[in-house]
Amino acid sequence: MRLHHLSITAFGPFAETVEVDFDQLSEAGLFLLSGATGSGKTSVLDAVCFAIFGDVPGDRAGAKRLRCDTAAPGVAPRVVLETTLSGRRFRITRSPAWSRPKKRGTGLTPEQAHVVLEERLGGEWSALSNRLDETGHVITGLVGMNMTQFCQVALLPQGEFQSFLRARSEDRHKLLQHLFSTQRFEDIEQWLREHARQLNREVNSHQRGVASVLDRVQEASGESLPETWASDDLAEVLDDGLVQSWVAGLVEDADNKFAQAGAHAETVESATESARAARDSGHRVADLQSRAARSRAQLDQVESERSLHEERKARLALSRRAAPMAPLHRHALAAGQQHEAAAAAALTARVTAAVALGQDEPTDTTLREAADEARRTIAVAGALLPREPELAALRASLAAGTRSAHELATRHENLTAQAAELPGRIEDLTRRLATASDQASRVETLEARYDALAHRIAQAERLTGVRTELAEASVEHDRVVHECLRLKEDWLSIREARIAGMAAELAHGLAIGGCCPVCGSDDHPNKAEPTPGAPSAQSEKEARRLVDDAELNRTATDGKVRELAIVVAQLEGEIGDTTIEDLQTEKDEVAADLVTVREAVALCRRLEPALALAVRTLEGVRQDTAAIEVELATLSERAASDQARADQITAEIDAVRGDHPDLTTLIAATKELAGLCEEALKRADDAAATARAAEDAARALDDWLQESGFDSVDEAAEGLLGPDQTESLTAAILAHESAEQQARAGLDDPEVVAAEKLAPPEVRALDAEFARLELALKTAVTELHVARTADQRLTALSADLSSAIAKWEPARAAHKVAADLAALVHGTAADNELRMRLSAYVLAWRLSQVVAAANERLGQMSDERYTLEHTARRGAGETRGGLSLLVRDEWSGESRDPATLSGGETFVVSLALALGLADVVTREAGGADLDTLFVDEGFGSLDSDTLDDVMDTLDTLRDGGRVVGVVSHVAEMRSRIPTRLSVTKHRTGSTLAISRDAG
């Protein structure tokens, strides 16, 4: 991958568009990316990373704030990168999500992130994709690594590798896991753990299943487990077959009990059936004899009521002969009443119509003519009726026009007065704005001076705290030095005492028949004995460990004292001889001036819109005055036209309505008159029709009387019975006849005749005997059911027990294998002496590759003094091993913790480790070519000789046309690297510039 050109707009600290020509920087091979702290050096690297992967590395990605705060409103943040990936030339244009001003109205609206990927083909840029996901897949495939790997390989973040160098094994595990694809090994660990847990759950489930079957066996048999068996651990007794034998004996006992209960139930059932037949026969004879007695008594009762029955039949026949008279009589009465009502209604309607017409006795002809005339009047008035709303609308429009004209005249007067006042106000605002603008022009100068004074005061306050820390660190350093000397003396004393007693220690290791390592003899007649309190090898080793820990603490405190002394010297040089009180006084004076100037700025912000508003208001007043004059003329013309039209419609309506107030009232009155005339004619016709119906009904009633043989209506009415009486007589007659039939049928039944010839049976004795045998049968059946159920349950449970045991055995074996393997790969098994996880083992192999690659450059940068060592043993305070690092000092021949290195040494070792990791990750990603590299801060901690060695190493990175960018703000780097990409910060945003020293 080679970078060619980068364009940044409104991104990070860059408010305007800045460009970087990497092709121009590539001519030198090594260039310096320099600038003050906070100017935006890292933002250049962020822009490169954002263009390629659509995100920025580290904690900055979580802020979600990539747009420059000082960029002009509406300017979209954008990064354009031209680069060569896998031999193909691409141009990537990306914009992050941001909030832009709304095109209409005020406020902000979200703008989504977007991307455009183009490839240069045949001298022209051809678009490949504008989708975020598709572009990400294409670029990641071409680069050959993800963003985390790219940032560790192409950006070389030195600060992070200092932490990596001194980190614990667990922390190194997390970082290496991000760089190398080891997730599958962790997935294996997780799967094995979950598999073992699942098998354990299955084993427990199967054991609970066996115990559950045994619980049901105890419930079914009523027997308890032997006291020597533990229900929560049945493995031993199951392996011996004791449980199976116990359950088989219970099943055999249940079979015997079931057979005995079956034989007893059959005997009782046979006796019960015989008793049931005798009881049923006795009850049948007793029922037939009782039925015969009831039938004879019923027949005697029927014969005693014979005469009353004949009277009821005669009375019902008379009522049925007179029944047709009732509806004819009711119809004749109703017809007469309807005729009387119709005649009265006809007279009333004619009188009402006569009053409305003003005549005494109008004829039918007169009524019809009046109704026809009224209908013609309604038609004429209805045709004119729509003109009334039109007339009302014209009158309302005339009234509204009058009001509008008055309002416009009043508004015209107000605008004329406002137009005369505004020019003076505009002149006053212009004069005040000019005065405030002169004062506001000083605000940037005062703010810069105020910030500089505030920074110097903060540095002075920091100096006080750093001096206190230096004094405390010096005291702690003295204490640590004294403690180190004391522990070293103790160690030497233990060492000397152990050497003095070495003979006893050698004698302790001699075995019978073994040769002495000193004299070679296999005979040991008088072995040396250790003196009381003699130190052992373990005590000497522990004393040495304490000395090493104390040396580490001394080195750390010594470094801290030196670092604090350097900070104090830097702060004193920056502050000078000025006191905090003088700086604070000067700062207060500047703050007072700032208050005045900022008030002037605020006044300008208020006056500018006020002046613009006044100018716009004057122009608007003049335009509104002219518009009102035109509108007044239009209203006058419209009022004259509406008045003429209203007069015409009024004349047409007045000609028709006569004395009525309006057409609606005229139509209502005319409709009422026509209705009265038509109602009188209709009522006359109804009276004639009802008269004819009354005569027909009376004639039909007389004809029926003559035919039925009754002399009068009253005579027929006396023979009539009411509905309740008729129903009562009918029911009594039917009941008498039915009772007679039932009694004779009961006495004629052959079974009843035969039963009367037999002696009465002893029913109670038969019932008692059957009840006794039936109860005995129920008891026998219950015992049989209980025995059958117990036998079936125990037989089924015996099979269930065999099945449960068959499932438990293989699960136990599988769980043991899985649990042992999971413990081994997770590092908790006794066989895993280093307690190293499988994923850590794989990463340890990767780390050994990184260490080997790092040592290729570390020897050159450290004058062959230091090399890195990878060790699998656990570090101090660590529970797992595999990823520990040591630094071997070839001058002393000792290996020690990286925390004992000085600041410059730490940088050198960290840089070598970063470059080594970059080489390994590049090979891991498929051997992708990285023609452009960046090395981040850290050069300020090196002396000149070490810096020369480091620069020589960086020069080797340029082999094969590679371009190396060094990110640093150290002044000495500018003299060593002539080609520079400088970042300069301003209040309005940072800028970029490429420079090259002459010669």
Q: Report the alpha-carbon distance of residue 834 to residue 743 in Å, rounded.
A: 113
Question: What percentage of the chain carries pLDDT values higher than 70?
Answer: 84
Question: What percentage of the chain carries pLDDT values higher than 90?
Answer: 3
Lowest mean pLDDT among 340-349, 771-780, 805-814, 913-922: 913-922
Angle CA(827)–CA(829)–CA(834) in degrees, nearest 5? Answer: 50
Say which DSSP state 12 is in.
Answer: T
| Residue 334 placed within a domain | yes
pLDDT average, residue stretch 429-434: 77
Give bridge partners of residue 2 from the DSSP assignment: 84
Give residue 81's pLDDT: 94
| Residue 170 placed within a domain | no
Give residue 980's pLDDT: 84
What CATH number did the domain enclosing 964 receive?
3.40.50.300
Give residue 937's pLDDT: 56
Say which DSSP state 888 is in.
Answer: E
Q: What does pLDDT average to over the chain?
A: 78
Q: Report the alpha-carbon distance of residue 180 to residue 770 in Å, rounded.
A: 93
**Domain C-terminal end among 669, 692, 717:** 717
Lowest mean pLDDT among 42-51, 409-418, 980-989: 409-418
Q: Report the alpha-carbon distance of residue 769 to residue 763 in Å, rounded.
A: 10
Most confident of 80-84, 142-146, 730-734: 80-84
- For residue 472 the two structure tokens come to 């405390």
- For residue 412 the two structure tokens come to 């015209």
Is there a contact between 701 and 332 (Cβ–Cβ < 8 Å)?
Answer: yes
DSSP codes joined into one string, 347-404: HHHHHHHHHHHT-SS--HHHHHHHHHHHHHHHHHHHHHTTHHHHHHHHHHHHHHHHHH
pLDDT in tens, 93-140: 999 988 888 777 777 888 888 999 999 988 889 988 888 888 888 888
b/e 447-457 (16+ beta carbons within 10 angstroms → b)? eebbeebeebb
| Residue 494 placed within a domain | no
Say which DSSP state 827 is in.
Answer: T
Number of domains in the chain: 2
DSSP codes joined into one string, 833-886: TT---HHHHHHHHHHHHHHHHHHHHHHHHTTT-EEEEEE-S--TT-S--S-EEE
Helix (H) / strand (E) element for 500: namely: helix 443-500
SS3 9: strand
The closest of 894, 862, 868 to 883, measured between CA atoms, is 868
Torsion sign, CA atoms 692, 693, 694, 696: positive
Q: Is the pLDDT of residue 928 over 60?
A: no
pLDDT average, residue stretch 427-436: 78
Place of tokens 């015996």: 798
Adjacency order of strands within the sheet including 894-896:
866-871, 884-889, 894-896
| Residue 871 placed within a domain | no
Is there a contact between 39 and 10 (Cβ–Cβ < 8 Å)?
Answer: no
Q: Please give the residue range of the domain that contains residue 681.
A: 325-362+661-717
pLDDT in tens, 402-422: 888 888 788 878 878 877 877
b/e 795-807 (16+ beta carbons within 10 angstroms → b)? eebbebbeebbee
pLDDT average, residue stretch 163-168: 69
**Domain C-terminal end among 674, 700, 717:** 717
Lowest mean pLDDT among 197-201, 421-425, 810-814, 875-879: 875-879
Q: Is the pLDDT of residue 806 over 70?
A: yes
| Residue 953 placed within a domain | yes
pLDDT in tens, 256-307: 888 888 888 888 888 888 888 888 887 888 887 777 787 778 778 777 877 8
Give residue 281's pLDDT: 81
- For residue 354 the two structure tokens come to 């006569």
Lowest mean pLDDT among 204-218, 509-523, 714-728: 509-523
Q: Report the alpha-carbon distance of residue 866 to residue 862 in Å, rounded.
A: 6
The contacts found for 272-278 with CB under 8 angstroms, 24 or more apart, are: 272/770, 272/773, 272/774, 272/776, 272/777, 275/766, 275/769, 275/770, 275/773, 275/774, 276/770, 276/774, 278/766, 278/769, 278/770
Would you place residue 570 in the very low, low, confident or very high pLDDT band (cuts 50, 70, 90)?
confident
Place of tokens 């055995």: 809
pLDDT in tens, 333-371: 777 778 778 788 777 777 777 777 777 777 778 777 777
Angle CA(590)–CA(596)–CA(602) in degrees, nearest 5? Answer: 125
| Residue 667 placed within a domain | yes
Map 585-645 to HEC letters: HHHHHHHHHHHHHHHHHHHHHHHHHHHHHHHHHHHHHHHHHHHHHHHHHHHHHHHHHHHHH
Would you place residue 527 in the very low, low, confident or very high pLDDT band (cuts 50, 70, 90)?
low
The closest of 135, 169, 157, 156 to 53, measured between CA atoms, is 135
Place of tokens 């150290």: 970
Q: Is 386 exposed, middle or buried (0-12, 13-18, 19+ CB in 10 A)?
A: exposed
Torsion of CA 554, 555, 558, 563, to 10 degrees: -150
Give bridge partners of residue 964 from the DSSP assignment: 30, 933
| Residue 605 placed within a domain | no
Would you place residue 877 in the very low, low, confident or very high pLDDT band (cuts 50, 70, 90)?
very low
Give residue 927's pLDDT: 45
**Domain C-terminal end among 680, 702, 717:** 717
